[in-house]
Amino acid sequence: MCGIVGYVGDKTAVPLLVEGLKKLEYRGYDSAGVAVLDEGSLTVKKSVGKLAALESKLGDEMPQTTVGIGHTRWATHGRPSDRNSHPHTDCTGKIAVVHNGIIENYLELREWLSGQEHAFSSETDTEVLPHLVEEFYTGNLEEAVHRVLGMVKGSYAMVVLHQDEPDKLVAARKDSPLVVGLGDGEYFIASDIPALLNHTRKTYILNDGEVAVLTRQGVKITDSKGNVIPKQVFQVNWSAEAAEKGGYDHFMLKEIHEQPRALRETISSRLAADNTHVILREVGMTAEEINKIRNIRIVACGTASYAGMVGKNVIEKLARIPVEVDIASEFRYCDPLLTPETLVVIISQSGETADTLAALREAKKNGCRVLAVTNVVGSSVSREADDVIYTWAGPEIAVASTKAYITQLAAMYLLALYLGQVRGTVGQELAQELIAELKNIPGKVQRILDGAPLIRDLSQTFTDVEDAFFIGRGLDYAVSMEGSLKLKEISYIHAEAYAAGELKHGTLALIVDKVPVIALATQESLFEKTLSNIQEVRARDAKVIGMVFEGNNQMKKSADYVLYIPRTHQFLAPLLSVVPLQLLAYYVSLARGCDVDKPRNLAKSVTVE
Ligand code: AGP
């Protein structure tokens, strides 16, 4: 996720900005920049790469002024480069903006601004902001920013400078955090608390729709209509390390709780406002090329491959194209039967997994079109694929993937709907129903997260467990695979996932007294079948934890414990059913004293075979 720092006071701004950005480095970034205001001039320096690259550009030529903003960029729209780095400026060079989030309607704004003779120098969504401020500025920066906020859709944490108002920062937030630091005669603004802790622990936490105006004289907070509102000081009592985790005990828990926003940022700009269709501009295939696809091979490792299993299910259902899911380390050595009519879908959070990258190259060698789903702009996979659907989950620090996985699922649904709408294989009614419900999913994920304490209580019963089994049918089986991996990789319990109907062909021999079996039963068309599989394990004294939609009253008669998830279209169930399994794995790992964020033997990105 990007980092933002701003300062107004009586100290030289640049060293403070760089120091603050360094406190945000853990969030991951690929470029950085600063802008400072001097009497009558605005100076901007920015560079692709780490802060060291920026510092070597700054040298000692930067003005020793006391007002400025800084930014570390995690690329979403536009590759990592000098010109895509923030701050971005307007045509006059008098206005500078730094921004976190996604301006969903940036293309139409860019078009309108170009019509107003604005010239753009980057590929970013952010650059529309300084040009909009320029368009609306009539001598009052705060007013201009308010007018801009009325034009933009999406998520933002933004800070704006204007050369003609040299002692002022104007900041606004919606769906992307911003915090004001209250010093003694000096004021800070940052995207995250760690950037402030060297200077103050007194803060204002901005809420959505609020605008902050910082000058040496103090801080004014207004609502979206410009009405001044009183703010409660939030005294930060966290340690610096805790602050990096946003107050959560571990990055994994923070990332689990970031999932509603990660989903919203990944799907919102790709779903038509009237729910009629999916918008995937990043897929360069023509309708003719899409109609020529004869089969799809989804290739990935670990969690990403389990997202691919959901993808298989939904693409076959909606686009009516045969799909196989291959483990990347197998794919590259099995002499895969590929033709130019095969679409290869590569899924990789990091975009650097060696086996997955090798599989991509194998596909290209065979003349296949490659579509990548990745979370890292500029990663090797993103550079070598023909098309890339980015998940906008932000950097994932914990080794165990959570928000990246759930946004990979979202990408699978978007791709399935898109291919189906182009090939005419998905009915308009079903498409609208699914698209409308996709927009409800982030809120339903939040509801599950609000019930986390119940799952924490359940996890206490796993402390001495040696083996655990996850079972399900259809989409529930695909999610069981991910639930099983989550549990084993961070709690070290031996866990296995099985198609529910497959247990009796051998594995049932392992089901004995009190062995936990987590049974997913969201697929109503398969519910009775799954229930009979639950009876099979109950008959062997297993401890059954069932998962169903709210309102299902049958499961409690068959299970020792029931996990209820909000009702949704059963087709979209994986986007919800995985969340309790992530929380369960997290709390069991905690109860067993394991290293949640850095489990033994594992790396975040496996860049070796
Ligand atoms: C998942 O929790 C693991 N960290 C691991 O399975 C991971 O998903 C796998 O190594 C693939 O990584 P990638 O998505 O970066 O390619």
How far apart (Å, rounded) are the C-alpha atoms in residues 86 and 432? Answer: 37
Instruction: Give, as one character, the DSSP assignment of residue 495.
Output: E
Strand partners, 370: 344
Is 239's pLDDT higher than 90? no
Q: How far is the CA of 607 from the centre of ligand 1 (A)?
A: 11
54 neighbors 96 (Cβ within 8 angstroms): no
pLDDT computed for residue 27 by the predictor: 72
pLDDT computed for residue 319 by the predictor: 98
Instruction: Give, as one character, the DSSP assignment of residue 153.
Output: -
pLDDT computed for residue 217 by the predictor: 95
Question: In this predicted model, what pLDDT tens digit does every residue of 307-363 receive, in sequence order?
Answer: 999 999 999 999 999 999 999 999 989 999 999 999 999 999 999 898 999 999 999
How far apart (Å, rounded) are the C-alpha atoms in residues 589 and 486? Answer: 10
Q: How far is the CA of 490 from the centre of ligand 1 (A)?
A: 13
Mutate to test the pocket of ligand 1, among 250, 255, 298, 303 (most ligand atoms within 8 A of CB): 303
Six token digits for residue 487 = 């549990």
Q: What is the 3-state secondary structure (H, E, C) of 317-363?
A: HHHCCCEEEEEHHHHCCCCCCCCCCEEEEEEECCCCCHHHHHHHHHH
- Phi and psi angles of residue 62, each rounded to the nearest 5 degrees, phi first: -70, 140
209 neighbors 222 (Cβ within 8 angstroms): no
Is 179's pLDDT higher than 80? yes
Q: How far is the CA of 69 from the centre of ligand 1 (A)?
A: 35
Least confident of 314-323, 404-413, 476-485, 598-607: 598-607
Q: Whose CA is nearest to atom 2 of ligand 1?
A: 400
Closest approach atom of ligand 1 to CA 399: 4
Closest approach atom of ligand 1 to CA 302: 6
Question: In this predicted model, what pLDDT tens digit does every residue of 406-426 receive, in sequence order?
Answer: 999 999 999 999 999 999 999
Q: Whose CA is nearest to atom 4 of ligand 1?
A: 400
Closest approach atom of ligand 1 to CA 606: 10
Closest approach atom of ligand 1 to CA 303: 8
Quick one: angle between helices 574-591 and 475-491, nearest 10? 20
Mutate to test the pocket of ligand 1, among 327, 332, 606 (most ligand atoms within 8 A of CB): 606
385 Cβ neighbours under 8 A, 6+ residues apart: 346, 360, 370, 371, 372
Which of 79, 84, 72, 68 is closest to 35 using CA atoms?
68
How far apart (Å, rounded) are the C-alpha atoms in residues 110 and 362? Answer: 38
Question: In this predicted model, what pLDDT tens digit does every residue of 15-36 receive, in sequence order?
Answer: 999 999 999 887 778 899 999 9
Radius of gyration of the chain (CA): 25
Q: Per-residue DSSP letters for 212-258? A: EEEETTEEEEE-TTS-B-----EE----HHHHHTTT-SSHHHHHHHT
pLDDT computed for residue 332 by the predictor: 87
Write out the H or E segment, with its range, that includes residue 292: helix 287-292
Which of 555, 565, 554 is closest to 452 using CA atoms?
565
- Phi and psi angles of residue 273, each rounded to the nearest 5 degrees, phi first: -60, -30
pLDDT computed for residue 496 by the predictor: 97
Strand partners, 181: 188, 203
Q: Whose CA is nearest to atom 3 of ligand 1?
A: 400
Q: For residue 253, name the pLDDT band (cuts at 50, 70, 90).
A: very high
Does this chain's domain 3-243 share its CATH topology with 254-432? no
pLDDT computed for residue 1 by the predictor: 61
3-class state of residue 164 by DSSP: coil
Mutate to test the pocket of ligand 1, among 401, 597, 601, 609 (most ligand atoms within 8 A of CB): 401
pLDDT computed for residue 447 by the predictor: 98
Is 138's pLDDT higher than 70? yes
Torsion of CA 413, 418, 420, 421, to 10 degrees: 140
Q: For residue 175, name the pLDDT band (cuts at 50, 70, 90).
A: confident
How far apart (Å, rounded) are the C-alpha atoms in residues 233 and 179? Answer: 11
3-class state of residue 96 by DSSP: strand
Six token digits for residue 494 = 């031996």
pLDDT > 90: percent of the chain = 85
Task: Tell me how many helices (H) and strands (E) the chain has.
Answer: 21, 24
Q: How far is the CA of 252 from the centre of ligand 1 (A)?
A: 14
Is 191's pLDDT higher than 70? yes
Q: Which residues line ligand 1 (CB under 6 A)?
A: 301-304, 348-350, 353, 356, 399-401, 489, 605-606
The arithmetic mean of pLDDT across residues 254-274, rounded, is 95
Would you call 49 exposed, middle or buried from its count of C-beta atoms within 10 A (0-12, 13-18, 19+)?
middle
524 neighbors 570 (Cβ within 8 angstroms): yes
Ordered by start, the domain boundaries in the chain are: 3-243, 254-432, 451-591
What's the fold here for domain 3-243?
A: Glutamine Phosphoribosylpyrophosphate, subunit 1, domain 1 (3.60.20)
Closest approach atom of ligand 1 to CA 489: 2
Is 508's pLDDT higher than 80? yes
Would you call 525 exposed, middle or buried from its count of C-beta atoms within 10 A (0-12, 13-18, 19+)?
exposed
- Mean pLDDT, the chain, integer: 94
Residue corresponding to tokens 């995250």: 192
Is 272's pLDDT higher than 80? yes
Closest approach atom of ligand 1 to CA 604: 4
Torsion of CA 112, 114, 115, 118, to 10 degrees: 110
Q: How far is the CA of 602 from the centre of ligand 1 (A)?
A: 10
Residue corresponding to tokens 């002022």: 168
379 Cβ neighbours under 8 A, 6+ residues apart: 348, 350, 351, 352
Q: How far is the CA of 351 from the centre of ligand 1 (A)?
A: 10
Q: How far is the CA of 441 from the centre of ligand 1 (A)?
A: 24
What spatial distance separates the first Cα and last Cα of the chain, rounded to whole Å?
28
pLDDT computed for residue 379 by the predictor: 84
325 Cβ neighbours under 8 A, 6+ residues apart: 297, 298, 299, 300, 305, 308, 309, 311, 312
pLDDT > 70: percent of the chain = 100
Catalytic (active-site) positions: 2, 604
How far apart (Å, rounded) are the C-alpha atoms in residues 455 and 461? Answer: 10
Strands 95-100 and 156-162: antiparallel
Q: Which CATH superfamily is domain 254-432 in?
A: Glucose-6-phosphate isomerase like protein; domain 1 (3.40.50.10490)
How far apart (Å, rounded) are the C-alpha atoms in residues 317 and 413? Answer: 11
- Phi and psi angles of residue 160, each rounded to the nearest 5 degrees, phi first: -125, 140
Which of 232, 311, 234, 598 is closest to 481 using CA atoms?
311
530 neighbors 578 (Cβ within 8 angstroms): no
Q: Whose CA is nearest to atom 16 of ligand 1?
A: 348
Question: In this predicted model, what pLDDT tens digit does every residue of 56-109 receive, in sequence order?
Answer: 989 777 888 999 999 999 888 888 899 999 999 999 999 999 999 889 999 999
Mutate to test the pocket of ligand 1, among 306, 325, 349 (most ligand atoms within 8 A of CB): 349
Q: Which CATH superfamily is domain 451-591 in?
A: Glucose-6-phosphate isomerase like protein; domain 1 (3.40.50.10490)
How far apart (Å, rounded) are the C-alpha atoms in residues 564 and 456? Answer: 14
Question: In this predicted model, what pLDDT tens digit does every residue of 99-127 receive, in sequence order?
Answer: 998 899 999 999 999 999 999 999 999 99
Q: For residue 196, name the pLDDT band (cuts at 50, 70, 90).
A: very high
Q: What is the 3-state secondary structure (H, E, C) of 200-211?
A: CCEEEECCCCCE
pLDDT computed for residue 237 by the predictor: 82
Q: How far is the CA of 404 from the centre of ligand 1 (A)?
A: 9
